[in-house]
Structures are given as C-alpha cells and as structure tokens.
C-alpha cells in the first residue's frame, strides 16, 4: 500500500534544494531562486547584487513543474555545471509559473529558459525560443522520446484491461496542461477516434501525481489515474507504494523507454535560448551543457523531436493550432459556400414566390374576367328579358289601342255630324252668334284631328304606312308648340320655351306624325324640368348640307349610365308613372321617316334628342292641320292629348 510517511519525506526533499547554498557554486545566486509573479519587476537590487566583481550576469528562467526532485536532482546540477564551466558569468534564476510563462518571459526577458517541451514549443512560436538541449533520463534511450502518459488501475480490476474498457469510467489526473499527466493521453484518445472531453464520465484533476492521483485510484475514488511515464516505477523503487498494487493499462512494448507507458512518447525538459540572447553566450552555454558529465538520473543531449509536440498540439487544437476568434470576414470566407447556398436558396424561394404571385394574379385576373363576363351575360339576359317584356306589353297596348280606336271611330263621327247640324242651325239663326259659331268650328276641327289620330293608331296596328309628302319642318314645330300649350304638362309646369326654326327645312314626311313626335318629346321634357326654372326647353331646326336636324333639349336632372341607356333602348319608362310607350312612339315615327335618332347628355345636365332627316328640294303643300287657330276657350279643361302615350 501507499506509504504516506515516506511520501511526505520525499515531497519535502523534492520541493527544496539539497545542501547549503555554497554547494551550488560561487557564481550561483541562491537568493534569486524564488517564484516570481507576472508583475515582478525586471530589475531588483537584491537580485542584481553581484558577489564577484566583474562577472557578467546571466538570467535563467525556470518554469515550475510538479515533479519530485526537480530542483535538487535536475536544476541544481545543471546550474553548478554552468557556473563551473563559465566562471566569468554570474547565473541567477527567475522562477516562472507555468500558466504565465509567456507573459513573464516577455516582461523579464531572461537569457535562457528551462521547462517542459510542450510549454517550450509554445514559446518557439510566440517568442522565437530556440531549443539547445533536451534532458534524457536514465529510463530513456533518447531524450526526444522520454515523456508519455501511463494510465494505471488497481491490479484487482480485471474488468479494465484496455483503454476501451475505461470508456464511461472516472479518472484522476494531475493538471490539464501537463504533458505526461494528461495531454499525451488526450492526444492518444483523439487519434483513436474518441473525444477526450466525453470519453470519461468524470475527470478529477489533482495537484500532484504523488500522492493525490495514486491515492484516488488505490482508495477507489476513481477507476483509473493518469501518471507521467516512469512515475509509477520511481514510486515503487522508492518504496512509496507497494509493487503490484497498480498496473498500467495497454502498456507499450518498445525499447525507447524502460518504463511502462500507454501513449506515444515526447521530448523531456528543454534548455533553450530566446531570440534576443547574445550569440556568443548561446554558444558558450550550449558547449557547457553538452559537455556536462552524466548525472545520476539524467544527462543533456542535442535537442530534437519538438515536431512531435507540434503534432500533438495540432491533434488537440491547442497552442498555435487553437481556433482563433472568428471575425466577420473569417466567417464569410470559412462558410462562403454555405452562405452561397443559403443565398441561392433564398433567391430560388424569392423567385418561386414571385412566380406564385404572378400565377395567382393571372388566375385572379382570369377569374375576375370570367366573373365579369358572367355578370355581363347575366345583365344582357336580364335586359333581353326586359326588352321582351316591353315588346310584349307594347304589343298588348297596340292591340288595345286598335280596339279603342275602332270603338272611338263611331262616337267621333257622331260628334262631327252634330257639329254639321249645329253649323246649319246657326246659319238660320237671326241674329247670328259668332262665339257659338267659333266654338262649333273648333269642336269640329278637333274632332277631325282626333279622327286622323285614331286612323294613324289603327294604321300602326295594321302596320300600314302613311303617305309622305314634302313638309316644312319649321311649320310642324310651330303647330306642335302651339298645341303643346293646351296640354296638362305645360299648364302644370309652365316651362320656358325657346324655339329656333329656320324656314325652308323641307323633308318628306307626315305632318301629323311629326307633330306627335314633337309633342311627346316636349311633354317628357316638361315633366323632367318640373323643378328647373333657370334654363328653357329648347326646340331647334337647322339645315346642314343635304340634312335637316331637329333637336329637343331639356334641362332635367343628370341621368346615370343605366337610365341614360334605357332612353336609347326599348325598355320601361324612366318616369315611374309612365307606361314606357312615348319613346317607343317617337322611335317608330323616326324610323318611319328614315331619320337617325341620337340621344346625348346636355351640359351641365339634361338630355338632347336629335333627329337627322334627309332634306328634299320640293315645295311643301299647305296643310290646315298644322296651322290650327288659337283655342277659342282658354278656360276649358286642359287636354290630355290624343297623341299622348
């Protein structure tokens, strides 16, 4: 078992130099052998004291390691050899913490450095250090292959025969930056395809391999321990632990090292110079080291094999191979293909989105067009049904009108006969009564006019065309306006009339039908202008080349598109009280006279009905029907109009 008393004595021996200061030689300043923090001044009077007048001072930085006998068996003999070989130099020691080695060396600028090969390798990259010699222990055949890791377990653990058996187990190690105590094993696991961070279930880092790591394994606190190669043999030889209590897992069998070890081997401690050390001093110290007699436990040889440490650092991604903090530019360069792929994917997605939106817009447009077309067809169908209904009603009214006209024929003939009898009777009266005679003539004339209208209605029902003759359209307008003054619409709304008719506007037509056309339009205009008093109802006749234009313009309200369209088509009346026959009669008369009817908006509101007739170069015959006398009885009831709808 572990001999703690012997271990404590060995540790006390290892942590200090053996013998008095004089044993180090007259040129070695033992007072300078102390731990120097990073903030320790580069120049200190107590350290700069030169016991030998004229001696040149040389500073040697010693990187602290947790190795038993490191000072007494390694550092002291080396310094004594240098002092004896180079008596003209005064050597002083600058102790350097391992975790601050680079910063302390950069601040204090020692001439030489002694330390583990892994730490020295980092100095070669950061401070330009140059290896002069490598320590070779008595256990090693070559100083370049002296340090490795030995994974130890209790000998009674038969379940732990190889490194693979330790997966998921607990392990104790000295320090995470120790080459033999952990780094060599971490590199071994990495090369075997394992992740050192997850291979073990728990890693317990201890300060010393003696006694901490060994105690953890022996007491069963951890399944295994990591020791620097040859530390187990040294402890067994010194009697610090019974031989056979611990064994090495997966030991290497080679002639490079007499000790059992699990991992590959790396260089031992290195003695090196810095890039600012004087060349003649480097030469003198190198010769002194390489000519130093072999010591009891070590000797110096030419430095080499630091490349194996570099390979280990590269495998573990440490030191100069540690990942550097990535800048934005580094990220762009490193992941440029990923970014390019993402950008391409985004571009494809954007283009696809644009394509989908284009398709959606096109489909929406097509659907909207289809719906609009369906609505248009539905509207056309409704209009067709409306027109058919109007035509059916007009046909019915036409038949009724024919029947009524037939029935009115006999009463009108009777009225005219009575008028003849009254005229004969009045001739025999003495004295004569002019008023009664005039009234009798007016009744007779209106009865004849009504008879003509009835004949026209019956002619329309039988589709019999009337005979046309040359007619002065200005005379027709005058007669129509005069008769319009007797209608209810004129009496009720009293529109202002503005008549403009040029003489000589002769067309071929029927005077009575043209008068009916005008009276219907003026009646409709008067109803539309019932609230308008600022603008007159205008009727005009004008000639342009071979055409005669007749127009009727009202100042009624502004019509929307739907109602305006109904004026030009066979449909219901725009007047809620109308039957929709007035405009039908107007269209029929215009068509019978070969006239082109146009309906337009008036400005700022109202409607203009314009008819274009062909002009004829003939003299119109006088027609008493279109030159009626004034109404002899202005107080009589207003006519509803035989020409009304």
* Domain-embedded: residue 409: no
> Which residue among 276, 303, 321 closes a domain?
321
Q: Of 507 and 328, which is predicted with more confidence?
A: 507
Model confidence pLDDT, tens digit, residues 584-608: 778 888 888 999 999 999 888 889 9
Nearest to 107 by CA among 115, 96, 118, 98: 96
**Residue 430 confidence class, pLDDT cut points 50, 70, 90:** low
Please report whether residue 433 resides in a domain. no
pLDDT for 169: 96
Q: What DSSP string runs through 495-557?
A: --EEEEE-TT-EEEE-HHHHHHHHHHHHHHHHHHTTT--SS-EEEEEEEETTEEEEEEE---P
**pTM of structure:** 0.50
Give residue 2's pLDDT. 53
Q: Which of these ranges, 167-171, 353-357, 452-456, 532-536, has the smallest mean pLDDT?
A: 452-456
Tokens of 622: 């006088």
The residues facing 130 across adjacent strands are 273
Asked if residue 163 and residue 31 are part of one domain, the reply reads no
Is 277 inside any structural domain?
Answer: yes
Same domain, 97 and 243: no
The phi, psi pair for 27, rounded to 5°, reads -95, 5
Alpha helices in 207-305 (DSSP H): 214-218, 231-237, 279-290
In whole angstroms, give the CA distance from residue 217 to residue 201: 15
Say how many CA atoms lie within 13 Å of 588 toward its Cβ: 22
In 68-206, where does DSSP find H-type helix? 70, 76-85, 101-108, 117-126, 184-191, 196-199
Domain count, the chain: 3
- The verdict on 8 and 153 lying in the same domain is no
Do 582 and 535 share a structural domain? yes
The answer for residues whose C-beta is within 8 angstroms of residue 121's C-beta and 6 or more apart is: 306, 309, 310, 313, 319
Does 382 map to a domain? Answer: no
Which of 183, 194, 113, 109 has its CA nearest to residue 149? 183
**b/e per residue, 170-197, with b = 16+ CB within 10 A?**
bbbbbbeebbbbbbbbbbbbbeeebebe
Q: Which of 33, 61, 104, 126 is closest to 273 using CA atoms?
A: 61
How much is the pLDDT for 354? Answer: 94
Task: Please tell me the predicted confidence (pLDDT) of residue 575.
Answer: 58
In 3D space, the residue among 257, 115, 249 whose CA is nearest the CA of residue 185 turns out to be 249
Same domain, residue pair 158 and 282: no
DSSP string, 285-335: HHHHHHTSPP-SSEEEEE---HHHHHHHHHHHT-GGGSPPPPPHHHHHHHT
**Residue 35, pLDDT above cutoff 80:** no
Q: ∠ at Cα 235 (231, 237), nearest 5°?
A: 115
pLDDT of residue 470: 93
Regarding whether 97 and 42 lie in a shared domain, the answer is yes
The SS3 of residue 443 is helix
Peptide bond connecting 211 to the previous residue in cis, omega within 30 degrees of 0: yes
Q: Same structural domain for residues 596 and 534?
A: yes
CATH number of residue 476's parent domain: 3.30.565.10
pLDDT digits (tens, 9 = 90+) for 23-33: 333 333 433 33
On average, the pLDDT of the chain sits at 82
pLDDT, tens digit, 9 for 90 and up, residues 122-137: 999 888 899 999 999 9
List all residues 6 or more positions away from 557 whose beta carbon is below 8 Å from its beta carbon.
Answer: 528, 605, 606
In a domain, 196, yes or no: yes
Whether residue 329 is contained in a domain is answered as: no
Is residue 87, in this structure, part of any structural domain at all?
Answer: yes
**pLDDT score for 311:** 93
Domain residue limits at 157:
148-248
Q: Are residues 46 and 117 in the same domain?
A: yes
What's the Cα-to-Cα distance from 636 to each of 437, 439, 459, 625, 631, rounded to whole Å?
A: 17, 11, 31, 21, 9
- Of 321, 342, 361, the last residue of a domain is 321
Task: Please answer whether residues 90 and 58 qualify as being in contact, where contact means their C-beta atoms are separated by less than 8 angstroms.
Answer: yes
**Burial classification of residue 229, based on how many CB atoms lie within 10 Å of its CB (0-12 exposed, 13-18 middle, 19 or more buried):** buried
Q: Are residues 239 and 289 in the same domain?
A: no
Q: Residue 454, SS3? A: helix
Q: Are residues 302 and 221 in the same domain?
A: no
Strand-pairing partners, residue 137, are 298
Record the tokens describing residue 230, joined without a space: 């040859």
SS3 at position 249: coil
User: What pLDDT, on the 0 to 100 scale, is given for residue 429?
Assistant: 72
Task: Mark whether 495 and 546 lie in a shared domain.
Answer: yes
Residue-by-residue DSSP string for 339-360: HHHHHHHHHHHHHHHHHHHHHH
Residues 188 and 238 in one domain: yes
Q: For the domain that residue 203 is a member of, what is the CATH number?
A: 3.40.190.10
Residue 42 clears pLDDT 80, i.e. is over it: no
pLDDT, mean of residues 354-368: 93
Q: Is the pLDDT of residue 6 over 70?
A: no
Mean local confidence (pLDDT), 401-425:
76
């Amino acid at each position: 078992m572990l001999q703690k008393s012997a271990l404590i004595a060995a540790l006390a021996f290892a942590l200090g130099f053996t013998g008095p200061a004089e044993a180090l030689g007259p040129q070695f300043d033992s007072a300078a052998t102390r731990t120097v923090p990073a903030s320790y001044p580069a120049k200190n009077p107590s350290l700069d004291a030169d016991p030998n007048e004229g001696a040149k001072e040389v500073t040697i930085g010693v990187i602290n390691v947790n190795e038993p006998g490191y000072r007494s068996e390694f550092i002291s003999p080396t310094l004594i050899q240098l002092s004896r070989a180079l008596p003209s130099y005064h050597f002083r020691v600058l102790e350097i913490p391992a975790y601050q080695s680079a910063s302390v060396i950069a601040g204090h600028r020692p001439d030489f450095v002694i330390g583990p090969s892994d730490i020295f390798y980092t100095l070669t990259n950061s401070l330009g250090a140059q290896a002069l010699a490598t320590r070779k222990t008595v256990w090693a055949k070559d100083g370049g292959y002296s340090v490795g890791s030995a994974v130890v377990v209790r000998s009674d653990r038969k379940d732990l025969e190889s490194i693979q058996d330790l997966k998921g187990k607990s392990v104790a190690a000295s320090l995470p930056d120790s080459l033999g105590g952990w780094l060599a094993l971490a590199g071994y696991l990495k090369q075997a395809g394992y992740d050192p961070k997850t291979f073990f279930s728990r890693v317990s880092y201890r300060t010393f391999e003696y006694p901490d790591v060994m105690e953890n394994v022996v007491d069963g606190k951890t399944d295994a321990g990591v020791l620097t190669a040859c530390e187990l043999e040294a402890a067994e030889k010194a009697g610090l632990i019974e031989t056979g209590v611990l064994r090495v897992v997966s030991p290497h069998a080679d002639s490079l090292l007499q000790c059992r070890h699990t991992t590959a081997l790396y260089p031992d401690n290195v003695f090196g110079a810095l890039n600012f050390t004087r060349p003649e001093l480097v030469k003198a110290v190198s010769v002194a080291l390489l000519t130093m007699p072999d010591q009891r436990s070590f000797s110096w040889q030419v430095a080499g094999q630091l490349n194996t440490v570099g390979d280990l650092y590269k495998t573990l991604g440490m030191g100069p191979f540690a990942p550097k903090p990535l800048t934005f530019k580094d990220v762009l360069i490193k992941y440029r293909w990923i970014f390019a792929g993402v950008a391409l994917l985004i571009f494809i997605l954007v283009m696809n989105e644009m394509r989908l939106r284009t398709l959606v817009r096109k489909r929406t447009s097509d659907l909207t067009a289809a719906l609009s077309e369906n609505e248009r067809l539905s509207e056309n169908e409704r209009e067709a049904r409306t027109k058919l209904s109007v035509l059916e009603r007009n046909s019915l009214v036409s038949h009724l009108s024919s029947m009524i006209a037939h029935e009115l024929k006999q009463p009108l003939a009777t009225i005219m006969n009575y008028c003849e009898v009254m005229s004969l009777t009045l001739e025999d009266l003495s004295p004569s009564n002019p008023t009664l005679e005039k009234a009798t003539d007016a009744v007779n004339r209106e009865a004849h006019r009504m008879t003509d209208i009835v004949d026209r209605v019956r002619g329309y029902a039988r589709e019999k065309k009337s005979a046309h003759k040359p007619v002065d359209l200005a005379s027709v307008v005058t007669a129509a306006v005069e008769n319009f003054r007797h209608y209810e619409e004129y009496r009720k709304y009293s529109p202002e009339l503005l008549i403009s008719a040029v003489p000589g506007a002769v067309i071929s037509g029927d005077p009575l039908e043209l008068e009916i056309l005008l009276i219907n339009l003026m009646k409709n205009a008067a109803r539309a202008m019932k609230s308008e008093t600022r603008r007159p109802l205008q009727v005009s006749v004008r000639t342009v080349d071979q055409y005669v234009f007749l127009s009727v313009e009202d100042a009624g309200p502004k019509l929307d598109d739907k109602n305006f369209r109904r004026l030009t088509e066979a449909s219901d009346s725009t007047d809620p009280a109308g039957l929709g026959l007035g405009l039908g009669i107007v269209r029929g008369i215009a068509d019978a006279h070969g006239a082109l009817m146009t309906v337009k908006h008036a400005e700022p509101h109202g409607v203009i009905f314009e008819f274009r007739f062909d002009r004829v170069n003939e003299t119109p015959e006088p027609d008493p029907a279109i030159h009626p006398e004034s109404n002899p009885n202005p107080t009589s009831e207003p006519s509803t109009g035989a020409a009304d709808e």
